[in-house]
A and B are shown apart, each in its own frame.
Chain A
Amino acid sequence: DAGITQSPRHKVTETGTPVTLRCHQTENHRYMYWYRQDPGHGLRLIHYSYGVKDTDKGEVSDGYSVSRSKTEDFLLTLESATSSQTSVYFCAISESWGGKNIQYFGAGTRLSVL
C-alpha cells in the first residue's frame, strides 16, 4: 500500500458543514494527489502537491481546498459540503521508476453528504 493511510475511512455529514480528509504517508514521497471516484467518471484529479506548501489544482477543484504543512500529510477540505461532493476520495503518492512517476493509492474515504 506504499505506506498511505487515509482517515477517516467513512464519514457522513450534513450539507453546509466543513469536512477535512487526511492522507498520511510514511515514505517521504514528494508528490501527493487527491482524486474523487464517481460512477461513470472513473477517477478525477482534485488537487495535487509537489512539496510542502506547494499545491496545484486538478480538473475538479471547485469547492475543495488542500494544505500540506509537512511532507507526510496532505489534507483535503470541503469548506461547505454539498450533496454533489458525495463520493469516494482517494489519496495517491507517486514514486519514480525509470524516470517516470508511478502512482500508488490509499484505500479511500467514502463520504456521504446528506
Chain B
Amino acid sequence: AQSVTQLGSHVSVSEGALVLLRCNYSSSVPPYLFWYVQYPNQGLQLLLKYTSAATLVKGINGFEAEFKKSETSFHLTKPSAHMSDAAEYFCAVSGKSNFGNEKLTFGTGTRLTIIP
C-alpha cells in the first residue's frame, strides 16, 4: 500500500523568496512520485514526475523536486516565487491496482499563497 503526507495545508511566501512544499511518502515497492498543480477552478496539471532515473527532477515553471529514499521524501522547491505560482499543489505516489494499471494516491494538498 502507498500513502502520501503533505506537511502544511497552507504555505505563504513572499514574492522572490524560496518555495518549499513538503511531501513524505510510504510505499512497499520502489515508488513513482508526482507533483500536480491546481490553479483556481481548473483541473490538475502535471508539474513533474520521478520515475527512478535521476533523483533531482526538473518540472515546468522552474519547479524541481528531489527524491530522497533515506528520508522517504519528495519535496518541491522553486528558488524564487512568482505571483503566478499561487495555487494548490498535490503530491502523489503510484501503485498497482488489481488489474495492473497504476493507481495514484494523493496527499491532501498544500495551498501556496504568494505575498507581494
Contact = CB atoms under 8 A, between A and B. Distances in A.
A90 interface: yes
B99 A100 contact: no
B7 interface: no
B87 to A, nearest CB: 14
A45 interface: yes
Interface in A13-52: 31, 40-45, 48, 50
A105 B43 contact: yes
Contacts of A94: 101-102
Nearest to B49: A102
B86 to A, nearest CB: 17
Interface string B82-110: 00000000100010011101111011110
A72 to B, nearest CB: 18
B51 A56 contact: no
Contacts, number: 59
Contacts of A107: 42-43
Q: By DSSP majority rule, is chain A's interface helix, strand, loop, or mixed?
A: strand
Nearest to B91: A42
B44 interface: yes
Contacts of A105: 36, 43-45
Contacts of A100: 32, 51, 94, 102
B99 A56 contact: yes
A58 B98 CA distance: 10
B46 interface: yes
B14 interface: no
A83 B24 CA distance: 33
A105 to B, nearest CB: 4
13 contacts: A41-B108, A42-B108, A43-B90, A44-B106, A50-B97, A56-B99, A100-B32, A100-B102, A102-B46, A105-B43, A107-B42, A107-B43, A108-B42
Closest 4 CB pairs of A and B: A42-B106, A105-B43, A101-B102, A105-B44
Interface of B: 9, 32, 34, 36, 41-46, 49, 51, 90, 94, 97-99, 101-104, 106-109
